Structure 1
Amino acid sequence: MTHKSHHAHAAPTMSETLKNYVGGAWIAGSGDGTPLLDPVTGEELVRVSSEGLDLDQAFTFARDKGGAALRAQTYAARAALLGEIVKVLKAKSDDYYAISTQNSGTTKADSGMDIEGALFTLSYFAKLGASLGDARALPDGDGYSLNKDGGFRAQHVLTPTRGLALFINAFNFPAWGLWEKAAPALLSGVPVIIKPATATAWLTQRMVADVIAAGVLPEGALSVICGSARGLLDRIQPFDVVSFTGSADTAAKLRAHPTFVERSARINVEADSLNSALLAPSAAPGTGAFDAFITEVTREMTIKSGQKCTAIRRAFVPAAHFDAAAEALRAKLAKITVGNPRNETVRMGSLVSRDQRDSVLAGLAALRRDTELLFDGSATQLVDADPTVAAIVAPHLLGLRKDDAPSVHDIEVFGPVATLIPYRDEAHALSLARRGGGSLVASVYSDDDAETARLALDLADTHGRVHAVSGAVAKAHTGHGNVMPQSLHGGPGRAGGGEELGGLRALAFYHRRAAIQAPAGAFEHLPKPAAPATK
């Protein structure tokens, strides 16, 4: 289906204020706006402002116009829309890589993790949604009889919520962060309003602009607000849903908002996470598992300059192997070239801003009070970058030899920093991992399948995902920090208690569950009980 096309302005010139797309129109915010900078050169790129927008009209338009149009379509039809979005974005991918380098300071490989990850996730949900066919609601489990002769029965069903989905996103994944949430929302039949993090909003805004210009989606199905989030939660109604990615402190403030306390609107949170890598007791130096552990810790410290919510922050090793692991990690980190991502020799680029650089350095200083410095990134020579201007911090590996240092289990440094921590035995290792208070992911490194399974199950109650690696799959596994749409993304406790992705599980957040009790004959006209939303 082709819908009316809305064209945003051409590519912005320097210092142009990016427009917001709300109420079916492109609208510039008032005032001077907030500048978005190149974190390597300090150059101003564009500005954003959401001041003066009619938020009431924007939210009503999305709910009434976009929601009604999406719900009128089947799951298969909406899945086809996701497929069309993929085509639009693929055709513009060169533009997105250029914006990512300019605004996020990322290397081509790191930009690809964001951009290609977004395309893969959209494609996955397009294929998954096609399998749901022409239904407009989903069964949840099997039906059951409520009386002796079976003439009166019950069936739980999932129907799309009659509201909108508001996404308040983090700065580190402006492409994937949008589409990993928007794909299941749109597939479910729920319109989306995206509020990207200000520092890197350009890429999100451009992707939305290209999709709107292509006329792929019904009016009101997708909106973007760049700038302040002020007033957004005030417009949330009981059947709207909110998904937030960011700090635990901000999440706590959001949860106290009346929209959640008094109106019981639904919120999903992904917050802080002190993720772990655990070298199993059997994985001695020289084994495939040991080598995989060294490779993955190095990679997770340096990919996207450590700015991933799933990055390894704590690396646990048997005490007897501490020195060997430290030496192996030092050797790997010493080979990482750091600097301007426009230089093809650079493997690790910039943090997203000088403010983020200051935050990383402050966190590093706090951890240094309890740890020793095993690899000092401050001695690294930056390539094609002025350290007095660029928001670059080279990798730092810390070591903790004493038994108790609460800071390493409490302070998340959102950058290229990790702490190597020894453990006495398996029980001690597990207790240390759990001191993170709930994390998005832990990875286990062992060549012993029984040991792997045991450790994975023991970690499962405090982690949203457990990623196990052996020497045999060292080149085939998907990566400790890579979030795959087939698997759950989220974590308990400190990590926010939220759940995203996980295949069709992702659709549950955008649906309402109800029990239908009716004569048996009515069940011939209800969705068939195949429980697709929980597979």
Structure 2
Amino acid sequence: MTELLSNFIAGRWQQGSGAGTALFDPVLGTELVRVDATGLDLAAGFDFAREQGGAALRALTYRQRAAMLSAALKVLQANRDAYYEIATANSGTVKNDSAVDIDGGLFTLGTYAKLGDALGDQRCMLDGDAARLGKDPLFQSQHVLTPTRGVALFINAFNFPSWGLWEKAAPALLSGVPVIVKPATATAWLTQRMVKDVVDAGIFPAGALSVICGSSAGLMDQLQPFDVVSFTGSAETAAVIRSHPAVVQRSVRVNIEADSVNSALLLPGDVPGSAAFDLFVKEVVREMTVKSGQKCTAIRRVFVPEALYAPAAEAISARLGKTTVGNPRNESVRMGALVNRAQLNAVREGLALLRTQAEVLHDGAAHALVDADPALACCVGPTLLGAHDADAAHLVHDTEVFGPVATLLPYRDMAHALALVRRGQGSLVTSIYGSDPAALAAAALELADSHGRVHVISPDVGALHTGHGNVMPQSLHGGPGRAGGGEELGGARALNFYHRRSAVQASTAVLAALQAPAA
């Protein structure tokens, strides 16, 4: 029997009472560890986090909590090699792809540590300037942001067990709100190990950071009016969360990141061989293959002028053909596995569905696996599809295949291109490629309302841009419509979700004392 990972709740490590769910190596097929949350006293755990963890965190200033984030970062950096080993075994990712998750999470944690230090020795934040309520300026109104007196429940996705943890936990803990994280079962090992290393280091107050591995059953039932919940995953599960009595009846604040059919758009005028065209092709291929396309921000739809359909198909296919697929332990492999057999089946089914309305421009089946048994490994080669009639191919605009799959689509003119991009019904990110600053700016503003982030790539930033799919802590992450309507990160904006806004109406002397340095 493999090791059964413990849960950390109510200030102590506890194992579930069941046999547990096995986690597997998606390349070798071997069982790694088991997770289980059966029999845990969830009510007691949530109460402990609220009463013990919350009170202790709120007693500290932003700068003091930021120092804890910095200390946690040092612990995680010291154990970085172990995290890479877990990612290789449990997620099947090559080293560069593991870095997106692991180092991305650490970078985000460090960013919020620095941000919190800049907030200083305060326990609340002012929201705007004071406003006089009458002719006499002595009595005014000042909006303030104070930490919510509840717990933050995170229900995370399988594709980013490190970054998904810290991009949520960093702003929550900095805000003074205790965290209970429920990682996706398939890749819970890395999240659990990171939490264990930080907990064992004794950095945060008891109850500030908890992890529950295994089933999410009963977690939402524990939420009270001042708690918050943040979810990353499918639109179907998001709908269940939104309809839960905790949200509908107790007004629990909820943040959702759901499905997203993201796009890349090449503007007219940049022909094959131009710098913008080459940047476009390179980024499409990178987004199709990084983490085997298992990113919520990955490019799914690729838009080009009608005259460039064939040249773009040829250029993208040529680069995809150089991608080696297989065992991430092999130095020659550039793309590893999907996370498990269920995801492999889902990608195959989604690909078959899209192929009813699209042609195959580059067949992933042509990629022979390197150092991996096709009967065991959850590997699939990158596939580029194409549809000459972008308007009629409605499945392409509605279906997110969560793997190394994208579809090339031609447009007639800019009005047609913008309309096609919007058929994604709200996405996390779109990227626009071209060399005309005015045209790029106009397109960016036209698409901003239906996207959480607009990534504009012109030749002058070809070597500087952070990448279509890379979520930087300084920028907003989220998206309207089908993407969930949520907002995360965005620098200090992330703290808003964990604070309550209130208006304090008082004399100018009282208002001046609101942010007096903590004793």
Q: TM class by shorter-chain length?
A: over 0.9
Matches within 5 A, 1:124-523: 124-402=111-389, 403-523=391-511
Structure 1 residues 470-527: Cα deviation after superposition (integer angstroms, max 9, x where no partner):
1222121100000000000000000000000000000000000000111222112013
For the residues of structure 2 that align with 1:398 and 1:332, how far apart are their CA atoms?
Answer: 15
CA distance in 2, matches of 1:143, 1:151: 11
Alignment pair present for 1:117 and 2:104 = yes
**Contact in 2 for aligned 1:377/1:394 (Cα 8 Å):** yes
1:377, 1:150 → 2: CA distance? 70
Deviation at 1:91, TM superposition (A): 0.2
1:108 pairs with one of 85, 92, 95? 95
Classify the secondary structure of the residue corresponding to 2:399: coil
What is the TM-score with the length of structure 2 in the denominator? Answer: 0.99
Distance 1:267 1:44 in 2: 35
Contact 1:243 1:269 in 2 (8 A): yes
- CA positional deviation for 1:298: 0.1
Q: Distance in 2 between matches of 1:175 and 1:343?
A: 23
Question: How big is the shift at 1:342?
Answer: 0.2
CA RMSD after TM alignment: 0.7
**Secondary structure of the residue that 2:145 maps to in structure 1?**
strand
Return the offset for 1:151.
1.7
Give, in whole Å, the separation in 1 of the partners of 2:187 and 2:384: 27
Q: Is the 8 A contact 1:288 1:472 kept in 2?
A: no
Question: Matched residues in 1 for 2:348 and 2:322: separation?
Answer: 22
Q: Does structure 2 retain, via aligned residues, the 8 Å contact 1:65–1:220?
A: yes
SS in 1 for 2:143: strand
Q: How far is 1:284 from its partner?
A: 1.5
Letter in 2 for 1:520: T
Between the two proteins, the alignment pairs up a number of residues equal to 515
Asked whether the equivalents of residues 269 and 497 of structure 1 are also in contact (C-alpha less than 8 Å), the reply is: yes
Q: Per the alignment, in what secondary structure is the counterpart of residue 388 of structure 1?
A: coil
* In structure 1, distance between residues paired with 2:75 and 2:40: 28
Distance in 2 between residues matched to 1:152 and 1:127, nearest whole Å: 35
**Letter of the aligned partner of 1:57 in structure 2?**
A
Specify the alignment match of 1:46 in structure 2. 33
TM-score by length of 1: 0.96
- How many angstroms does 1:286 deviate by? 1.5
Counterpart pick for 1:62 among 49, 53, 73? 49
SS at match of 2:369: coil
- Is 2:94 aligned against 1:94? no
Alignment correspondent of 1:531: none
Deviation sequence 1:383-423 (CA, Å, 0-9, x none)? 01111111111100000102311100001000000000000
Counterpart of 1:373 in 2: which secondary structure?
strand
Alpha-carbon separation, structure 1, partners of 2:310 and 2:60: 60
Q: Could you list the runs of 5+ residues in structure 1 that have no partner in the other structure?
A: 1-13, 529-535
CA distance in 2, matches of 1:140, 1:472: 37
Residue 314 of structure 1 contacts residue 421 of structure 1 at CA under 8 Å; is this kept in 2? yes
Q: Does structure 1 residue 78 correspond to structure 2 residue 65?
A: yes
Give 4+ residue runs of structure 1 displaced > 4 Å after superposition.
Answer: none
Determine if contact 1:287/1:471 at 8 Å carries over to the other structure: no
> Sequence identity, in percent?
66
Distance (Å, rounded) in 2 between the aligned partners of 1:471 and 1:321: 19
